[in-house]
Amino acid sequence: MSPGGGSGGKREPSFHQLRLFLVLAQELHFGRAAARVYVTQPAFSQQIRSLEQRLGVVLVERGGGNVRLTAVGQSIAEEAGAVVDAMARLRQAADRHAGAARGLLRIGSLGAEAAMPYAQAILSHLRGKHPDLEIEVRNLTFVDMFGTLLTGEVDAAFLRGPLPGGIQSLQLSTESRVVCLSDDDPLADRDTLTLGDLADRTVVDMPPEVPRSWWNHLTVNPRPDGTRVRFGPVVRDTEAMVLAVTQGRAITFLPSAARRLYPRAGLTYVDCPELGLSTAELAWLAAHRNTPAVSALREAARRTLRQSGSTALDSPSEG
């Protein structure tokens, strides 16, 4: 019997599922395919099984991490590629005729990034300039902050660098970073700290779906003397992160704005110049940069930065 259990239970496949299937057809490995779009392997596998159920056919032969397309899967991959290409052409044609930005713009926000003054100024300018554009802001976790962009679930996002390849961005602001400690930590009463002071402290960790290079950069791992950071509890979002610190389970590093955005009883923020700067960025996929909605957002960001006298417009990743 086919996975769909009969034609009566079939539904149309989603565009998102077709895109994921094309990634799997290229990688032929669930783990690599899931990592490429920054989703968990179980979630990725579930989407492929759902696609099979909707189509009523078996697309892949499973055996360990490696997979092989069935004959039907190979045929469906060709058709799925044609659908994705046609959808891209359809969007481009609609965008050309629409002219003005309208419809829905989905913007992701890592934690409280969309609440920052520069983000609020950009969104205010965008709403004033394009009243027919519906703006939806979606909260992102560490796990899905990059994947939602790469799969098209959001059109743009307010994130913190460094960003992975394939994502363009406009630098919005830079600020110092601070150490986040529990109040009862012996170092909590210091005015400033060095990385050497923190050598024996456990640092919160990220889930495996988060690019390791991103978290190593932000935790300065390894340290300048070559020692490795000792990681502890795994967290998925900023609220869980500060909770772990408040409970005394670990320390972490955050942009200095965290003092205002995440004040908590039992929590202390201490300056640490050796941590360097944190960069706030507006990010989008290169393939989407010239769609009316994303183009309008980028222009609103550039105008807002010019009005504030920011020099962040020269970010090389803006493309």
Which range is least confidently modeled, 27-31, 110-114, 167-171, 277-281?
Answer: 27-31
Task: State the average pLDDT over residues 126-151.
Answer: 90
Strand 267-271 and strand 202-205: the pairing is unpaired
Q: What is the reported pLDDT for 86?
A: 83
Q: Round the average pLDDT of the chain to a whole number and report it.
A: 87
CB 231 within 8 A of CB 204: yes
**pLDDT of 319 higher than 80:** no
Which range is least confidently modeled, 58-62, 188-192, 314-318?
Answer: 314-318
Task: State the average pLDDT over residues 162-176.
Answer: 93
**In the beta sheet, which residues pair with residue 110?**
140
Q: Which residue has the higher pLDDT, 88 or 162?
A: 162
Helix axes 117-129, 292-308, angle to 10 degrees: 120
At 100, phi and psi to the nearest 5?
-80, 155
Comparing CA positions, the residue from 177, 189, 209, 206 lying closest to residue 43 is 209
**pLDDT of 234 higher than 70:** yes
Kindly indicate the confidence band of residue 84, based on its pLDDT and cuts at 50, 70 and 90: confident
Task: State the average pLDDT over residues 21-26.
Answer: 88
Q: What is the reported pLDDT for 104?
A: 84
Which range is least confidently modeled, 6-20, 103-117, 242-256, 262-276?
Answer: 6-20
Q: What is the reported pLDDT for 101?
A: 59
**pLDDT of 237 higher than 60:** yes
Cα–Cα distances in angstroms (integers) from residue 258 to residues 115, 152, 175, in the given order: 12, 29, 11
Which residues make Cβ contacts (< 8 Å) with residue 32, sequence separation at least 6?
A: none
Torsion of CA 269, 177, 140, 287, to 10 degrees: 170
**pLDDT of 280 higher than 80:** yes
pTM, to two decimals: 0.69
Q: Which residue has the higher pLDDT, 179 or 147?
A: 179
Q: Which residue has the higher pLDDT, 88 or 253?
A: 253
Q: What is the reported pLDDT for 170?
A: 96
Whole-number percent of the chain with pLDDT over 90: 61
Task: State the average pLDDT over residues 175-187.
Answer: 97
Comparing CA positions, the residue from 158, 188, 204, 214 lying closest to residue 266 is 188
**pLDDT of 146 higher than 50:** yes
Whole-number percent of the chain with pLDDT over 70: 89
Cα–Cα distances in angstroms (integers) from residue 176 to residues 168, 203, 257, 279, in the given order: 23, 19, 9, 9
Q: Which residue has the higher pLDDT, 184 or 99?
A: 184
**In the beta sheet, which residues pair with residue 46?**
none
Task: State the average pLDDT over residues 244-273.
Answer: 95
**pLDDT of 268 higher than 70:** yes
Kindly indicate the confidence band of residue 10, based on its pLDDT and cuts at 50, 70 and 90: low
Encode pLDDT of 96-120 as tens digits.
Answer: 555 455 678 999 999 889 999 999 9
CB 176 within 8 A of CB 205: no
The whole-angstrom separation of Cα 238 and Cα 258 is: 10
A 10 A CB-CB count for 99 gives: 8
Cα–Cα–Cα angle for 106, 25, 107, nearest 5°?
A: 5
Q: What is the reported pLDDT for 4?
A: 43
The phi-psi region of residue 152 (left if phi > 0; otherwise alpha if psi is between -120 and 50; otherwise beta) is left
